[in-house]
Amino acid sequence: MNNRTIRTSEAKVIPLSPLPIDSVIEPLIAALRANCCAVLKAPAGAGKTTRVPPALIDYGLAEQGKVIVVQPRRLAARTVASRIASERGGRLGDEVGYHIRFDRQFHRQTRLIVVTEGVLIRQLQEDPFLDGVAAVVLDEFHERHLDTDLSLAMVRRVQQTVRPDLKLLVMSATLAAEPISNYLDNCPILESAGSLYPVDIQYQEVSTMSPIATHVVRGVEALLKSSTGDLLVFLPGAREIRQTQVELRNLEECENLQVLPLFGDLPAADQDRVFATSPQRKVVLATNVAETSITIPGITGVIDSGLARILEFDPNLGLNHLELKPISRAAADQRAGRAGRTAPGICLRLWAEAAHRHRPERETAEIHRVDLSGVLLQLLKWGESEFTSFPWFDKPDPIAITSGHALLRRLGACDIEGITPLGRQLVEMPLEPRLARLVVDGALAGQLERATLIAALLSERDPFQRGDRPARASHQSRSDILDQVDALLEFAHTRRTQFDLGTLNRNAAEFVMRAAEQLQRQVRDRMQVTSHVPDPTNVVDDVPLLKAILAAFPDRLVRRREPGGRRGIMVGGRGVRLADQSAVSDAELFVCVEADAGGADTLVRKASLVERDWLSGGNLDTRVDVEFEAETGRVQARRRVG
């Protein structure tokens, strides 16, 4: 079947240009009629994302409900929905719509809704039967976010227990199809050819000592001469995109270019400019949101920094954190393919060809490299408490499950009976459980703004330049992290950047402030708390926030070994040493907010004071250790509280 037409709800017939996926659609429909599950592997450019989901409607597989299409990224979800609606000659929000965080466009009669993984998980929490849903399509499954694995497992549980009629389709460009087919009871696997044009891949080794933006500008200059279409530049994040925009200003004016950013938090109108036609030659500066699902018309040249910010567990913070990492070979191939979607193209990789083969074949799934407390809390809310027997596609390490569950108990999010009322409140926050507890406690104490600033400081890149920090703290403080909060608030009012803590990077500080403001809006909506703009000239009671920090990091409580000393012992018995830069120099008890466990003693870079009378039974464990002393030949028992 080389040509297809679709019939919209208004009975308007629209011809579609042929795509490789068209030859697979009828066999796929037949497979889903005979089975509740199927796996589709199709490379970039095949058309799977825009053609397959509406085909489930056209061929009658969704007569009893909606089709839910799950995209890993908000930008892709909105763009994909718009493209499908356009191909079907309809208006976005009618037959085809989308639902992402803080933005939705659909109504009760909408038949196909593109959502993000988080939205699907919330829908499963509210309606465990998925009433009114006929099929779930998990697109770009190879990205393997933690929510990807959770979404699949939750839908599979629903399918196996209460909804055997529910259709489940897993799609990907670079998926290893056999394992997922085995997981889905050896369901059918279908494959489609792609339609990529040849891409000339070139390598250019660059110095890691120079800013990424500098190398990108040189790459843009080179590809403007050797290609005729628009250019797509892959950068690690919004920060590097803004830096590169600044560096490209002269070239933008000289060459009459249109330089456009593209990342997830960009306003929708700015995202739409990337996909609109332009008389000027475009240079699109994008994060890895542009790797899959979305096609930017006119791109014939790609410049790949080879870097991305990847979520990993940071033991220094006790939190999941975005780390700058080299991308895998599979991701590099996805990026290169963007240059060959509509015509022959060029991809310039900013690393040595010899080093390419040493990159990992593909990214490790998040379920094997992040803290699991957040996903376990979701399961507890869903009524699941047997974490190890839950139908994971890829089972997490039992030690990681035990650790995540223990943290939830310490945070007060669960007890022996399951999720607590506090846990239900934490799961509604768009944060990891630790930071959710900190923000909830801060908000209830009337200090939402400062609490969200702490959360943003711990989630984003430290805005204080390490090289400009004093070797030793010049003042005494009750909390290093609150010192940073106060400095940020003063920066917001006076634009001052020089502090006793060191030099504040303006761009990084503004990024943290924006992240905190966005978080404040989300928390206010969920908790219905009042808000005010803090004035750094007013004296604010720090005790509620100091207590909130303790509540978020109860497992990182430390007792100083001797008054005025910089060594202490943490809950569990590990030795710690305060870094010279920490100003928390005289507290008997403190919390390790940021610590480096690389040496014999954990080095605490940021600490926060704790008063003894703040401690309760939930913060302290009492145990009796029995030890044999060789010198005296006696057995001694010691009661330890910590």
Our measurement of the distance from residue 139's CA atom to the centroid of its chain's CA atoms, rounded to an integer in Å, reads: 17
Contact call for residues 556 and 590 (beta carbons, < 8 A): no
Pick from 284, 286, 309, 287: which is nearest to 299 by CA?
284
Provide mean pLDDT across the span 287-307.
88
Q: Which of 9-13, 150-154, 315-319, 506-510 has the highest mean pLDDT?
A: 150-154
- Which distant-in-sequence residues (6+ apart) come within 8 Å of 133 by Cβ? 65, 66, 67, 68, 166
Residue 631's pLDDT is 57
Provide mean pLDDT across the span 23-44.
95
When pLDDT is cut at 50, 70 and 90, the band that residue 316 belongs to is confident
H or E stretch covering 411: helix 398-411
Provide mean pLDDT across the span 33-39.
97
The per-residue pLDDT for range 248-268, each reduced to its tens digit, is 999 999 999 999 999 877 788
pLDDT for residue 466 is more than 80: no
Residue 262's pLDDT is 92
Token digits of residue 635:
């057995």
CATH number of 4-191: 3.40.50.300
Q: Residue 535 carries which DSSP code?
A: P
pLDDT for residue 633 is more than 60: no
pLDDT for residue 511 is more than 90: no
pLDDT for residue 231 is more than 90: yes
For every residue of 99-118, DSSP letters joined together read EETTEEE--TT--EEEEEHH
Q: In the chain, pLDDT over 90 holds for what percent of residues?
A: 66
Contact call for residues 282 and 204 (beta carbons, < 8 A): no
When pLDDT is cut at 50, 70 and 90, the band that residue 93 belongs to is very high
pLDDT for residue 214 is more than 80: yes
Residue 8's pLDDT is 43
In the chain, what are the domain boundaries? 4-191, 199-366
Where does residue 428 fall: left (phi above 0), alpha (psi -120 to 50 degrees), or beta otherwise?
alpha
Domain pair 4-191 / 199-366, same fold? yes
Q: In the chain, pLDDT over 70 holds for what percent of residues?
A: 90
The per-residue pLDDT for range 361-407, each reduced to its tens digit, is 988 999 999 999 999 999 999 999 999 989 999 999 999 999 999 99
Backbone angles phi, psi at 625, to 5 degrees: -105, 130
The per-residue pLDDT for range 335-364, each reduced to its tens digit, is 999 999 888 999 999 999 999 999 999 889
Map 453-494 to HEC letters.
HHHHHHHCCCCECHHHCCCCCCCCCCEHHHHHHHHHHHHHHH
Residue 175's pLDDT is 76
The per-residue pLDDT for range 436-445, each reduced to its tens digit, is 999 999 999 9
pLDDT for residue 602 is more than 70: yes
Residue 617's pLDDT is 54
CATH number of 199-366: 3.40.50.300
The residue that leads in pLDDT, 625 or 354, is: 354
The per-residue pLDDT for range 476-509, each reduced to its tens digit, is 999 999 999 999 999 999 999 999 888 898 888 9
Q: Determine the Cα–Cα distance for residues 287 and 308; give it in Å rounded to an integer.
A: 8
pLDDT for residue 626 is more than 70: no
When pLDDT is cut at 50, 70 and 90, the band that residue 537 belongs to is low
pLDDT for residue 9 is more than 70: no
The per-residue pLDDT for range 574-601, each reduced to its tens digit, is 899 999 999 999 899 999 999 887 667 8
Residue 629's pLDDT is 58
How far CA 588 is from CA of 288, 543, 552, 571, 620, in Å, comes to 46, 16, 19, 14, 15
For every residue of 26-83, DSSP letters joined together read HHHHHHHHH-SEEEEE--TTS-HHHHHHHHHHHTTTTTTSEEEEEESSHHHHHHHHHH
The residue that leads in pLDDT, 472 or 549, is: 549
For the chain, the average pLDDT equals: 88
pLDDT for residue 12 is more than 60: no
pLDDT for residue 322 is more than 80: yes
Residue 17's pLDDT is 77
pLDDT for residue 528 is more than 80: no
Residue 5's pLDDT is 47
For every residue of 556-602, DSSP letters joined together read GEEEESSTT-SEEEETTS-EEEE-TT----S-SEEEEEEEE-SSSSE
Residue 623's pLDDT is 46
Contact call for residues 72 and 117 (beta carbons, < 8 A): yes
Pick from 213, 361, 229, 227: which is nearest to 285 by CA?
213
Q: Determine the Cα–Cα distance for residues 223 and 301; give it in Å rounded to an integer.
A: 7
How far CA 123 is from CA of 37, 234, 349, in Å, comes to 20, 33, 41
Contact call for residues 220 and 214 (beta carbons, < 8 A): no
Q: Determine the Cα–Cα distance for residues 469 and 499; give it in Å rounded to an integer.
A: 9
pLDDT for residue 189 is more than 80: yes
Write the burial class of residue 599 (CB in 10 Å: 0-12 exposed, 13-18 middle, 19+ buried): exposed
Backbone angles phi, psi at 523, to 5 degrees: -70, -40
Residue 635's pLDDT is 54
Strands 299-304 and 230-234: parallel
When pLDDT is cut at 50, 70 and 90, the band that residue 10 belongs to is very low
pLDDT for residue 469 is more than 80: no
